[in-house]
Amino acid sequence: MEKKRIAVIFGGKSSEHEISRVSASYVISQIPADKYEIITIGITKSGRWFLYCGPTEKISDGSWEKDENNLTAFIAPAPSVHGIIIINKDGSTRKLYLDVVFPVLHGKNGEDGTLQGLLEMSEIPYVGCGVLASAECMDKISTNIMFKHAGIDQAAFTWFYSSQYFADPEKYIAQIENDLGSYPVFVKPANAGSSVGISKAHDRSELHAAIEKAAKEDSRILVEENIVGKEVECAVLGNKDIFVSVPGQIAPAAEFYDYDAKYCSNDSQLYIPAHISDETAEKVKKIAAKAYLALECEGLSRVDFFVTDEGRILLNEINTLPGFTSISMYPKLMAESGLGGSDLIERLISLAFERADKNV
Ligand SMILES: Nc1ncnc2c1ncn2[C@@H]1O[C@H](COP(=O)(O)OP(=O)(O)OP(=O)(O)O)[C@@H](O)[C@H]1O
Ligand SMILES: [Mg+2]
């Protein structure tokens, strides 16, 4: 059987550039080399695209950028190319056909529908959610509005533009206190990811500082009621016919699961399965499936919840390209369900082809 050519795209302009590189290294290590010819395309933090042909270790540590054989290369929007355009050192160009793309980018420009839009235009099958699901799940305000519409329980919330707030802070502080009842509250930029710009505010002065911080990341601000509970997550796989994993749980080392707790500290723990009753686990799985389908997710997503001691199940968010390192929750939950390592990656790639076949 002839090998199919797969491009793994990594890096990107988002604040999650570094994690994307580690996720991509893991994904590459799990793609069966007897079935696929793997090519890697790196996007630098400043947004430059390169075809990188060196060893995978240099992707995780970032030194791939210095490889002197890197050539500028990018996905062509034109379906006639169905692949990338490479600019050679002498300025001449060539095309390289791709069978499928695995975008391993987290956050802005990668997980938010923008790259997915380019891939739709190019007509190259790609792994993961499409444009709409990616965009909606990336934007915390849109996700909350969609959950509300779908009748899915979540934290009470309110939102506004940062410009509205700075024009009349008292009005919006009153709105927050009125809508959410009491402190602490969580302040989040609508779009950021990996807890960047998120803070827990315990009183009015902290609230003001938290809004100023969030406003540095986005022009729309979300404020949520504080939920005290376990953080429980499910891995979901599939297009319309979906599989939901057993729920897992994260126990953050910090007061909340911030960037350091997620990626820099060894103290955060994962429990698989989550420390919840079987009955609650079943309910969590049902809601995960409902939310996944309500937001039109495809391929994969990790659906994150809070489960309170009283047994309330509140949906927090859907990550359409969850962390994908060897120690990440998504691959671990799938492995626990019997679909580990390269089997999972192969399934994700075949889901990309299945969706593309349906779309023609
Ligand atoms: N309403 C809330 N009540 C209590 N804790 C919260 C609330 N919202 C967020 N948190 C805490 O803050 C962390 C980060 O928030 P959230 O998951 O919304 O954003 P994010 O992790 O940046 O998004 P992404 O997972 O897409 O990178 C959560 O894992 C949780 O620990
Ligand atoms: Mg999160």
Tens-place pLDDT, residues 55-73:
999 999 999 999 999 999 9
Residue-averaged pLDDT of the chain: 94
Domain 137-153+227-359: give its CATH architecture.
Answer: 2-Layer Sandwich (3.30)
% of residues, the chain, pLDDT over 70: 95
pLDDT of residue 255: 63
Pocket probe mutation, ligand 1, options 134, 198, 309, 321, max atoms within 8 Å of Cβ: 198
- Does any ligand 1 atom lie closer than 6 A to the CB of residue 301? no
Distance CA 235, CA 220 (A): 28
- Does any ligand 1 atom lie closer than 6 A to the CB of residue 157? no
Residue pair 300/330 in contact by the 8 Å Cβ criterion = yes
Q: In which band, very low, low, confident or very high, does the pLDDT at 80 lie, cut at 50, 70 and 90? A: very high
Ligand 1: which atom is nearest the Cα of residue 140? 18
pLDDT of residue 316: 97
Question: Would you say residue 264 has pLDDT above 80?
Answer: no
Ligand 1 centre to CA of 249 (Å) is 14
Cis, bond preceding 273 (omega within 30 deg of 0)? yes
Mean pLDDT of 133-152: 97
Domain ranges of the chain: 4-126, 137-153+227-359, 157-225
10 Å CB burial of residue 175 (0-12, 13-18, 19+) is: middle
Mean pLDDT of 253-278: 74
Ligand 1 centre to CA of 257 (Å) is 7
Instruction: Please provide the CATH number assigned to the domain covering 157-225.
Output: 3.30.1490.20
Question: Would you say residue 21 has pLDDT above 60?
Answer: yes
Mean pLDDT of 268-289: 96
- Does any ligand 1 atom lie closer than 6 A to the CB of residue 257? yes
- Residue 210 sits at the vertex; the CA angle it makes with 207 and 216, to the nearest 5 degrees, is 145
pLDDT of residue 14: 87
pLDDT of residue 253: 65
Least confident of 121-130, 251-260, 317-326: 251-260
pTM for this predicted structure: 0.94
pLDDT of residue 358: 80
Residue pair 236/299 in contact by the 8 Å Cβ criterion = no
Query: Using CA positions, which residue lies closest to atom 29 of ligand 1?
Result: 257
Classify domain 4-126 at the CATH topology level: Rossmann fold (3.40.50)
Ligand 1: which atom is nearest the Cα of residue 195? 22
pLDDT of residue 108: 83
